[in-house]
Structure 1
Amino acid sequence: EDDRYSIPPAIAAFKKLVYKDRVFTIQGPGSASILNVLWKHIEKDKLPTMTGVTPEIAFNPVRRHIFGVMDIYPNQMRLLVDYMIKDFKLKEPRVAVVYADTEAGKIDLAPTIERLKRYNLTPVTKEVLNPGAIDATTQVMSIKRYQANAVVFPGTIPTTVTPLLKDLRKYGLKIPVFGSWAAMLTEDVNLLGEAADQFYSIHAVSQWYDKGHGVEEMRKITLKYHPGTEKTTPRGSMYTHAWIMSNVVVEGLKRAGRNLDEEALINALEGIKNYDTGGLSGPITYSSASHKGGNSWKIHKADPIGRKWVPLTDWRTAE
């Protein structure tokens, strides 16, 4: 069912799946805003759900019927700020924060500000850049006026970071930009040329073209059924993410055995410890007290020449 990335169609799709199709389990949604609304319905209808997003409200406290395969959003921003300060080693950091005035932007903004305070830093400016914007001149002029030497972009998606990177280059600001995981949903940023040369992002899954036996198996099976599509069909990180989600659900079904019902599947998933994805992600672990699954991320850099995301770190966990 297509929720069109909108809450009313998502609620309608959920009700159809539950009351008309009477499904046993679902995967999705792919929007934090939608899960923030749907999680109460999921719990009420006791439907085992493997979701592609991990807003903290759906996982803390643990929700009996909701599972994920990556860490909650606040930890990605903590880790991203840590990397910017400790690894990138900015001299006298003057950090500008650009965010979208959306649910995802607000979810990521709070831990960003909190983590900067840990290093005795306050943003020199906070700028709003919403989805649909085609120009970021106002935001870039403010960043320039406050002499920022780095930008953190909570709640990033490719369509919002694109105008920012283009206008930073247009106005001669060669400063690093650090964006959250959704910036890597596609390869769009890597197609921006020199404008993307100092863009860094974070993700909980590997890319289609990365190394690892799990990644190789994903490519092999995919191309067996869709030969030749490696040249014609771009597969962003969401493809890997969905692959992991499906693998974990299948593992849970196997462990649940023949006496399968909703509770059996949930109990089986909660029994998964240090599940090895073969490099598709860090290890996945569940318990009755935690359903987020993953707790690790990698920092990546855009590569406008190779047009690929380049991993800069191994899997890291937030302190």
Structure 2
Amino acid sequence: MTPRWMAALFGALLASAASAAPGGNTDVVRDLAGRVGPIVGSALACTDIARPRIQAIVDKFAAVIKEASSNEAERDDLTQQLNRSVADGRNAVTSGKMDCRLAERQLADLERSIAGPASSGPSLAGVIGPSAAVAATSIAPVPTGPAVRGVTDREIRFGIAGPFSGPAKELGRQMKLGIDTAFNRINDAGGVDGRQLRLIAADDGYEPARTLDAMKQLYEKDQVFGFIGNVGTPTAAVAVPYALDRRTLFFGAFTGANILRNDPPDRYVFNYRASYAEETDSVVRYLVKIRRIPLRQIAVFAQQDAYGDAGYAGVAKAFRSMGANDGAIVRLNYKRNTVDVDDAVNQLKTQKPPIKAVVMVAAYRAAAKFIERTRDAYPGMIYTNVSFVGSTSLAEELGLLGPRFATGVIVTQVVPAVSGYSSAVLEYKNALAKYFPGEAPDYVSLEGYVAANVLIQGLKRAGSQFDTERLIDNLEAMRNIDLGLGTSLNFGRSEHQASHKIWGTALDETGKYQPIELE
């Protein structure tokens, strides 16, 4: 039977079922379930078809079942018939007997057949009686298995692709730790609408060449609903297009790069944290206005990739805003996943007048090695780092070298000081101690914890029956969220970055971070 004939029959059967007395036309509805179910099932198997479209058909059919049934036994029988047919339709797609283009056309024809006067087929308007109209808004959805990828009646699965091996592995471990802490806390409280949140990790080693495989593993094999906390800028250059192509949520990545901050924003990409441009702009202004360093004596030590480029661009923007020529900025480079800083050190030595401050856009080991190699030659040098450096790991690396290497090193943060007593920090530290005893509070894991809690707020607002589109609509409606950070968080249709707040910290002689005022 062609899709158009199927749709026309659907409309006719609906009219026939509704015009009969309750309980007098179950055979018609049973036939209808056997024909509509495969269309619903094939659409459910196609992740690019928006779930609200499918749910609208399911809700209307549930109302018809209720209207046509004279008792619970008949209703259960009809519902089971629909479920079997839905499973057949799903299997047709997963087995390759049917493709998603045909599934989309069949669903569109079905929608037109019940849309109303504008369609050529019979209208649903007036077909379902008043009691069924109420039922359509209150009846539980027909159980069809996991209608949304990564979502069951018991759990919601998220994925994180990051470095869980290699020189930057502590960044991945800490980010996952923070998200797991937030997920454990909400799960202990009953989850989100009774569903437990689960995080599945895939290792890309902070190498873009491995990121696509990690994303595919999470999306295709592990069937995650969305991504949260992916680590890195060069890896995001691969991961973000993959998520966008599949219209999948990409939330709270551990990067401040502009590739995740388009204007207008990409619909499926949401950030918790401030950008690298905001971090570096803030620290350049601090160096010039508070520390009185001339712009011509500020250099950039940067990873030679998209991460380093993002931080450098922020410094250049700050220079331009102060009326300086950004073309004169000295950039000292090193290669990702190495500690080979020789060229950067040699280039630094050639600068006249001598450099007095270095804005570092690096990972913790390379940053520590650069400080180690230059501290004796430049005892008064001011070293600043953006938050991605991994504050705790940097402090540990410098601590091994001695107090003179660590003291005064600055790190801009996108979360409050972990040594502080704000509500958010206390909640985080209590949860970390409960679920991961022995783990020390860390800026990266705190960021993961906060980002996860922002997402949890969105999930709660989306309700029990949601898909990606509905969740995003609810995220975009979130305003003035107070998690106890000392700053409110906001999203909007043109604003997919919740926070623009920058906190300043500096290492003291004991290797502990102390807050500093950047303005």
Same fold, judged at TM 0.5 (above): yes
**Does the CA contact (< 8 Å) of 2:458 and 2:475 recur in 1?**
yes
**Does the CA contact (< 8 Å) of 2:479 and 2:491 recur in 1?**
yes
- Match for 1:293: what amino acid? A
- Match for 1:129: what amino acid? Y
Per-residue deviation, 1:186: 2.5
User: Percent identity, aligned pairs only?
Assistant: 18
Per-residue deviation, 1:145: 4.7
Q: 1:55 aligns with which of 248, 257, 262?
A: 257
Match of 1:151 in 2: 357
Q: 1:296 aligns with which of 475, 478, 501?
A: 501
Q: 1:169 to 1:155 in 2, by over 3 A?
A: closer
**Does the CA contact (< 8 Å) of 2:507 and 2:513 recur in 1?**
yes
Does the alignment pair 1:107 with 2:310?
yes
Match of 2:517 in 1: 313
Q: Quick one: higher RCO (CA 8 Å, sep 6+), 1 or 2? A: 1
Does the alignment pair 1:226 with 2:436?
yes
Per-residue deviation, 1:65: 0.8
| TM, length-normalised to structure 2 | 0.55
Per-residue deviation, 1:250: 0.9
Runs of 5+ unmatched residues, structure 1: none
Q: 1:208 aligns with which of 407, 418, 443?
A: 418
Query: 216-225 vs 121-130, which deviates more?
Result: 121-130
Q: Aligned partners of 1:141 and 1:40: how far apart in 2? A: 36
Query: 92-101 vs 77-86, which deviates more?
Result: 92-101
Q: 1:179 to 1:136 in 2, by over 3 A?
A: farther
After superposition, residues 129-208 of structure 1 pair within 5 angstroms as 129-131=334-336, 132-133=338-339, 136=342, 139=345, 142-143=348-349, 145-189=351-395, 191=399, 192=401, 193-208=403-418
Q: 1:187 to 1:308 in 2, by over 3 A?
A: farther
SS in 1 for 2:496: strand
Q: Aligned partners of 1:75 and 1:238: how far apart in 2? A: 18
Per-residue deviation, 1:134: 5.0
SS in 1 for 2:293: coil
SS in 1 for 2:224: coil
**Does the CA contact (< 8 Å) of 1:156 and 1:181 recur in 2?**
no
Higher helix share: 2
**Does the CA contact (< 8 Å) of 2:364 and 2:394 recur in 1?**
yes
SS in 1 for 2:361: coil
Per-residue deviation, 1:174: 1.7
| TM, length-normalised to structure 1 | 0.87
**Does the CA contact (< 8 Å) of 2:432 and 2:441 recur in 1?**
no
SS in 2 for 1:36: helix
Match of 1:6 in 2: 207
Per-residue deviation, 1:257: 0.9
Query: 258-267 vs 199-208, which deviates more?
Result: 199-208
After superposition, residues 20-35 of structure 1 pair within 5 angstroms as 20-35=221-236
Per-residue deviation, 1:309: 1.6
Per-residue deviation, 1:84: 1.0
Q: 2:488 aligns with which of 271, 277, 283?
A: 283
- Match for 2:215: what amino acid? F
Q: CA RMSD in A?
A: 2.4
Per-residue deviation, 1:25: 1.9
Per-residue deviation, 1:294: 1.0
Q: Aligned partners of 1:120 and 1:236: how far apart in 2? A: 37
Per-residue deviation, 1:199: 1.7
Q: 1:64 aligns with which of 267, 272, 276?
A: 267
Q: 1:8 to 1:130 in 2, by over 3 A?
A: closer
Query: 198-207 vs 184-193, which deviates more?
Result: 184-193
Q: Aligned partners of 2:471 and 2:381: how far apart in 1? A: 48
| Residues 289-314 of structure 1: CA deviation (Å, up to 9, x unaligned) | 111211111121122x2322211138
Q: Aligned partners of 1:296 and 1:258: how far apart in 2? A: 32
| Residues 15-68 of structure 1: CA deviation (Å, up to 9, x unaligned) | 122222222122131111111222122111111121222321222120111111
SS in 2 for 1:291: coil
Per-residue deviation, 1:149: 4.5
SS in 1 for 2:419: coil
Aligned length: 309
| Residues 268-287 of structure 1: CA deviation (Å, up to 9, x unaligned) | 111211212212x7322110
SS in 2 for 1:293: coil
SS in 2 for 1:208: coil
